[in-house]
Structure 1
Amino acid sequence: MEEINYKDYCVTSISGRYITYDHIDEFLNSLPVTFKTEVVGRSVRGEAIKSVVFGNGPKRILMWSQMHGNESTTTKAVLDLFNFMNQDSMEASKIWNACTIKIIPILNPDGARDFTRINANEIDLNRDAQNLSQPESKVLKKVYEDFTPGFCYNLHDQRTIFNVGTTHKPATVSFLAPAFDEDRNNSPSRKLSMQLIAAMNSKLQEEIPGQVGRYDDGFNANCVGDAFQMKGTPTILFEAGHYYNDYDRDVTRVYIFKALVKSLLTIRDNEITDYTVDQYLSIPENG
């Protein structure tokens, strides 16, 4: 694998915590036609919810960010990923040929504008997977059903208060393979989620040793990750957290980007089974 220099791909025009489609549309519109951008639905207030599809391979990956409007670190990392995939590199070319990737950069545009977790109807979209009471929830469900992904990435931010286990190190990135039942058993899809997280953790331990945590896996069928895991789709929760003095989360975005690339390379190369459930379980829980 060739070394990937993040600085070559960072979208420096997008930074800080407050990010709406106003901030990212110019970049999205600058992507070549091989990145297919479309409006997949509308928010409560009628703002367009967009998706970007790229790649032409059989391995299908669906990602969505800013389900909670004030959680924008992963959105920045996704833009960096677009930039990476738009460059002439062997690694990007191989991912392009092996995978088809669909990304919703901002699922909750009203919440993004208000810089709040909830949508304009004051509903937490990540507790609406069963009721599907909100237009944004229905958009995600339809995209999921139409795209039929082999993997789902649920991209979030977590609060600065979290540390790794009993250490004083911040949980700069945390992961979760969501449960699919009350007893938190391991289904085939959940095991794959765990193995893919173990792959990403192996990369991040080289970069930020001791700063990767494991998010609480209490089961809630109303959460989207749990709901998709119930349907048999390997789903991963990403939680972008704190790095020292990085209150704009522009350092954390680097590690989310590197985790995303590592995951895609692992899927591309059929290397998920090189990693184990025990390696996932060895990641300390968030403190």
Structure 2
Amino acid sequence: MIQHSDYKEATIQGRYVTMDKLQQHCFTKLKSETIIIGFSVLGVPIPAFTLGHGKQKVLMWSQMHGNESTTTKAVWDMVNFLNSPNEMAKTILESCTLMIVPMLNPDGAKAYTRVNHNEVDLNRDAKNLSQPESVALRTLFQKFKPDFCFNLHDQRTLFSAGKTNKPATVSFLSPASNMERDITPSREVAMKLIAAMNQTLQKMIPGQVGRFDDGFNDNCVGDSFQMEKVPTLLFEAGHFQKDYEREKTREFLFYSLLEALQTIAADKISNYSIDDYFAIPENDKLFFDIIVENPQVTNPIIMDTDRVGIRYKEVLYGDKIHFEPEVAEVGALEGFYAHQTIEGADLLDFDNDPAKQAIRAILSSINE
């Protein structure tokens, strides 16, 4: 049994992962030669490297959105595994050639923003190719000619796995390649690979895997690569209970990556069906980080019957991400769930708890 803890890259943890950290701690240990595929808006080199020598070519990239770092951590855990003497690692490297871009948007990563330095969302620039990072990825895609693409992201804590009280800890999507959302051969292959990963994850986090909406947008990179008839998979790292640093979620992404690569290497994609893919519940937006029951504040905006839904805003201070509570919605909030529930009476006794003090303060100040 493979244990993630045996391969976890301990030098990168938490939510704030930058190119400087990767260069200092991770690239120095690589056995593979790195190439520079381009430069960011601020002139930061964007490195990539290959592992393996097999005929099945897999292109994967992470941190296209700079503040989405969980999959970057999982990728380095995967690299550690593939560089080990494990028999599965050897099989994958004999059957596959991986081209890995661990951080496509280094400027956004340093600023901890979704967009690049020009405030452009790189995942909405596949058509225009207006940004140097977008051009770098597209050029690499054309040169490498992958058989599979893994598009690695994070998703917000608000997502539920369907209309349930379970968070979407990991989500997937086989993007559409046209407005009709036809199930093309490449899209079908991606669906079956996702079904393989879901089967593994259900043993670890039952009911906590979601499927993203497949509305077509040719400005999105996944859709555009699917249009090129290359099976493309969107990975989304989400929330696991009490895991705001996403150290547990990275473990599930690690196992997902290994399952996908093993399925490709063993030529077992046909063992799965698109029905297994569509059985994964579509994501919904039913979670707040906190719901305050019976808020008990002197504020005419908040009624006695109301609940207050709070979501965290992620703010960078120094080299640490802080989670600052913000009121997202006030009302009955029927059908919604929370990662944490607080009784309003508990807020009356601060207990020197900064989080409770902050929540009390924002409840009291709503529309004052």
The answer to whether residue 297 in structure 2 is matched with residue 278 in structure 1 is: no
How well do the aligned residues superpose, as a CA RMSD in angstroms? 0.6
Counterpart in the other structure of 1:244: 241
1:176-255 equivalences in 2 (<5 Å)? 176-255=173-252
How far has the Cα of 1:13 moved from its partner? 1.6
How far has the Cα of 1:39 moved from its partner? 1.3
Counterpart in the other structure of 1:140: 137
Counterpart in the other structure of 1:19: 17
The answer to whether residue 29 in structure 2 is matched with residue 36 in structure 1 is: no
Structure 2: distance between partners of 1:97 and 1:36: 18
How far has the Cα of 1:40 moved from its partner? 1.1
Which structure has the highest strand share of the two?
A: 2
Q: TM-score, normalised by structure 1?
A: 0.98
Structure 1: distance between partners of 2:200 and 2:49: 26
The answer to whether residue 101 in structure 2 is matched with residue 104 in structure 1 is: yes
Structure 1: distance between partners of 2:189 and 2:119: 34
Counterpart in the other structure of 1:45: 42
- Say which SS state the counterpart of residue 149 (structure 2) adopts: strand
How far has the Cα of 1:243 moved from its partner? 0.2
Q: CA offsets per residue over residues 56-98 of structure 1, 9 Å max, x none? A: 0000000000000000000000000110011111110111110
Structure 2: distance between partners of 1:177 and 1:14: 29
Q: CA offsets per residue over residues 239-264 of structure 1, 9 Å max, x none? A: 00000010011100000000000000
Q: Which amino acid aligns with 2:90?
A: S
1:262-277 equivalences in 2 (<5 Å)? 262-277=259-274
Structure 2: distance between partners of 1:242 and 1:14: 18
Structure 2: distance between partners of 1:47 and 1:12: 24
How far has the Cα of 1:169 moved from its partner? 0.4
Structure 2: distance between partners of 1:193 and 1:112: 28
How far has the Cα of 1:36 moved from its partner? 2.4
Q: CA offsets per residue over residues 163-187 of structure 1, 9 Å max, x none? A: 1111100000000000000011110
| Structure 2 unaligned residues grouped into runs of 5+ | 285-368
Structure 2: distance between partners of 1:205 and 1:85: 24
Q: Which amino acid aligns with 1:219?
A: F
Q: Which amino acid aligns with 2:256?
A: A
Structure 1: distance between partners of 2:251 and 2:183: 31
Q: CA offsets per residue over residues 43-68 of structure 1, 9 Å max, x none? A: 00000101021100000000000000
Structure 1: distance between partners of 2:11 and 2:118: 31
Q: Which amino acid aligns with 2:87?
A: M
Contact 1:36/1:54, CA 8 A, preserved across alignment: no
Structure 2: distance between partners of 1:252 and 1:24: 20
Q: Which moved more, 1:23-32 or 1:45-54?
A: 23-32
How far has the Cα of 1:24 moved from its partner? 1.2
The answer to whether residue 253 in structure 2 is matched with residue 256 in structure 1 is: yes
Q: TM-score, normalised by structure 2?
A: 0.76
Structure 1: distance between partners of 2:55 and 2:2: 24
Q: CA offsets per residue over residues 223-281 of structure 1, 9 Å max, x none? A: 00000000100000000000001001110000000000000000000000000000000
How far has the Cα of 1:123 moved from its partner? 0.3
If you compute each CA radius of gyration, which structure gives the higher value, 1 or 2?
2
- Greater relative contact order structure (CA < 8 Å, 6+ sep): 1
How far has the Cα of 1:22 moved from its partner? 1.0
Structure 1: distance between partners of 2:5 and 2:116: 34
- Say which SS state the counterpart of residue 207 (structure 1) adopts: coil
- Say which SS state the counterpart of residue 219 (structure 1) adopts: coil
Counterpart in the other structure of 1:87: 84
Structure 1: distance between partners of 2:26 and 2:162: 38
- Say which SS state the counterpart of residue 38 (structure 1) adopts: strand
Runs of 4+ residues deviating >2 angstroms: none
| Structure 1 unaligned residues grouped into runs of 5+ | none
Q: Which amino acid aligns with 2:21?
A: H
Structure 2: distance between partners of 1:24 and 1:44: 19
Paired residue total: 283
Contact 1:40/1:51, CA 8 A, preserved across alignment: yes
Contact 1:10/1:83, CA 8 A, preserved across alignment: yes
Q: CA offsets per residue over residues 199-238 of structure 1, 9 Å max, x none? A: 0000000110000000111100000000000010000000
- Say which SS state the counterpart of residue 247 (structure 2) adopts: coil
